[in-house]
Amino acid sequence: MKKVFTRALTAACAAILCFSATLTPVHASVLTEEEAAAIVTDAPEVSDVPEMADAAEMTDVPEMADVAEMTDVPEMADAAEITDVPEMTDTAEITDMQEILTGASDATWNVGDNVEARISSKNLYFISNNGQLDADWKEIIGDAVLTVENVSVSSGKMYLPEDSSFFFENMTGIKSINTSGMDTSRVTDMAGMFAELSALTQLDLSGFTTTNVADMYQMFYGCSALTELNLTGFSTSEVTDMEGMFSGCESLTRLDLSSFNTSKVEDMSSMFSGCANITELDLRNFDAKMASTEDMFLNCSKLAKLVTPKASSSSIALPGTMYDASGKAYTSLPVLTSSMTLTADKPAPTGYAFSDVQNPNHAYFKAIYWAADAGITKGYPDGTFGINRSCTRGEMMMFLWRYAGKQAPKTVSKSPFEDVPKNHAFYKAILWGSQKGITKGYSDGTFGIDRNVSRGECMMFLWRLNGKPAPKAVAKSPFKDVPKNHVFYNAILWGAQKKITTGYTSGSKKGMFDIDANCTRGQIVTFLYRAK
């Protein structure tokens, strides 16, 4: 606008100067009357000269007052200030970003030296000819990365940038990553590389080269759906930070990190915090002498087996009580000079060595000795547990009562069942079960204290003890002998979904729960063991 105004002003001034040039200049000398008369006679007529008073109205000169208001000339002062116009660079042909965001259109970007990225139907393909991916590749692509569900290198080898920290940041919709073709030999920083990919279920990094990596802070933080993680051959010899590395990976059940070299690691705090379903951890080659280990196993409530680090400089809190091979209990690890194996289940003490439960490989072995150690069962005076004996309803209620901590029932003036006198050994357990709504007895007023308990009744008692939680709806019953309209259906379906029971998986009863069969003592304590 300034340039337009200047040009107009210059033109106006030129017009005035031209007009002034038609006037006779004033001389210093005085004119005679004859000379003055000659000048007047030769001067142009007034009608041929534009009137100065009307000069501003000249039709062929733009009105200066209106020049600044010309609407068909862009304001140049504002043009330089436009900052919200996207730089088209390599996306000059993209006319509708919304189509890309919705998956209706494909697009390709140059994201490095000999590297292109293509998004098609929520799939991100890297096309590389031994190229180097730019560290700011996500900024180049823009919001389109938010639509991606699957990532792969479709051709060639692609070198990842030296700083690959938070590599997939904000790409929370990713469900799969094929790392074939990704070369990480130049990478030194993998902090948060896969953080908060909450839809990712499997990840194989066995082909990753990590020899130069120094930072793995929160590398898998918040990968809440991740169930399989392959880190075979992972080199960690240069890593100094592993804080929160697996924190929040609540669906992982086991991790084999036996190949990890952690001699340079300074921070392992919260490393497995929130791995709520992890059952096994192998850390036998971990050296924690230099590292902070605060909250290392916080909320790992299902950790059943831990192979500890081989060295540490301070104690490490455990998620609960764990036992070594001798039966010694630990709630925290001592300063370690060698690795040891701990389990959540106390090994079978010699005092509970039932003569009919001697084989550690028996399907019910762990459950029976767990129950014995927890005071749920004491076995028989002859030294047997009675593993294959049918369990009575009275015994079943006694098992449940002890399992729940032998809670004292409310005092009543009369037993709720005719066949359960107040002086019976099972009276308190049965009264407690009645008051908790676990059992209602039979319509004739009896409990059936000496009757054998069926597998269906056993599952019903256990379901009621746990508050009768609603199982997930399924189209078909998991067992062919348990129809959906059966009175025990919800209890048995809940037990199957909680993996308390698997039913029969082989033989003539394959696919059945065997709902009316007598439940053996071995089966009952196994149900309790799985439900704990």
Say how many C-beta atoms besides its own lie within 10 A of residue 2's C-beta.
10
Does 380 lie in the same domain as 324?
A: no
When mean pLDDT is compared across 30-34, 53-57, 223-227, 378-382, the lowest value belongs to 53-57
Is residue 276 domain-shared with residue 355, that is, in the same domain? no
**CB half-sphere exposure, 125, CA atoms < 13 A:** 11
Structural domains of the chain, count: 3
For residue range 210-251, what is the model confidence (pLDDT) as tens digits? 999 999 999 999 999 999 999 988 899 999 999 999 999 999
- Do 194 and 338 fall within a single domain? yes
Residue spans of alpha helices (H) in 252-389: 365-373
Higher pLDDT, 35 or 286: 286
49-58, 417-426, 502-511: least confident range: 49-58
Residues 257 and 386 in one domain: no
Query: How close are the terminal C-alpha atoms of the chain, in Å?
Result: 80
Containing H/E element for 316?
strand 316-323
Alpha carbon 276 to its chain's center: 13
- Residues 270, 406, single domain; the answer is no
Q: Are residues 442 and 509 in the same domain?
A: yes
- Residue 93 inside a domain? The answer is no
Bridge-based pairing state of the strands 150-155 and 123-133: parallel
pLDDT for residue 416 is more than 90 = yes
The closest of 437, 450, 465 to 528, measured between CA atoms, is 465
CA dihedral 22, 28, 29, 30 (to 10 degrees): 70
The last residue of one of the domains, among 343, 358, 380, is: 343
Give backbone dihedrals phi and psi of 336, rounded to 5 degrees, phi first. -100, 140
Residues 319, 257 within the same domain: yes
**Shared domain check, 333 and 188:** yes
pLDDT at 327: 80
Nearest to 313 by CA among 341, 342, 283, 287: 287
Summarised one tens digit per residue, pLDDT across range 433-443 is: 999 999 999 99
Mean pLDDT of 318-327: 89
Instruction: Give domain status of residue 401, yes or no.
Output: yes
Quote the tokens at residue 24.
């006779």
Reported as a pLDDT band with limits 50, 70 and 90, residue 378 is: confident
Q: Are residues 372 and 311 in the same domain?
A: no
Residue 39, in any domain of the structure = yes
Q: How confident is the model at residue 69 (pLDDT cuts 50, 70, 90)?
A: very low
| Overall pTM surpassing 0.85 (yes/no) | no
Of 79, 112, 146, the one marking the end of a domain is 79
**Beta strand 305-307 pairing with 341-343:** antiparallel
463, pLDDT greater than 80: yes
Mean pLDDT of the chain: 84
User: Does residue 445 carry a pLDDT above 60?
Assistant: yes
The answer as to whether 112 is a domain residue is no
Task: Examine the domain organization and report whether 170 and 67 are in the same domain.
Answer: no
Instruction: Say yes or no to pLDDT of 517 above 90.
Output: yes
For the cut 70, the answer to whether the pLDDT of residue 489 exceeds it is: yes
Please check whether residues 370 and 439 belong to one and the same domain. yes
Range of the domain at 268: 160-343
337 and 377 both lie in a single domain: no
For residue 98, is pLDDT > 60? no
What distances in angstroms separate CA 254 from CA 20, 263, 338, one per listed residue? 98, 23, 22
**Pair of tokens at residue 176:** 């799969």
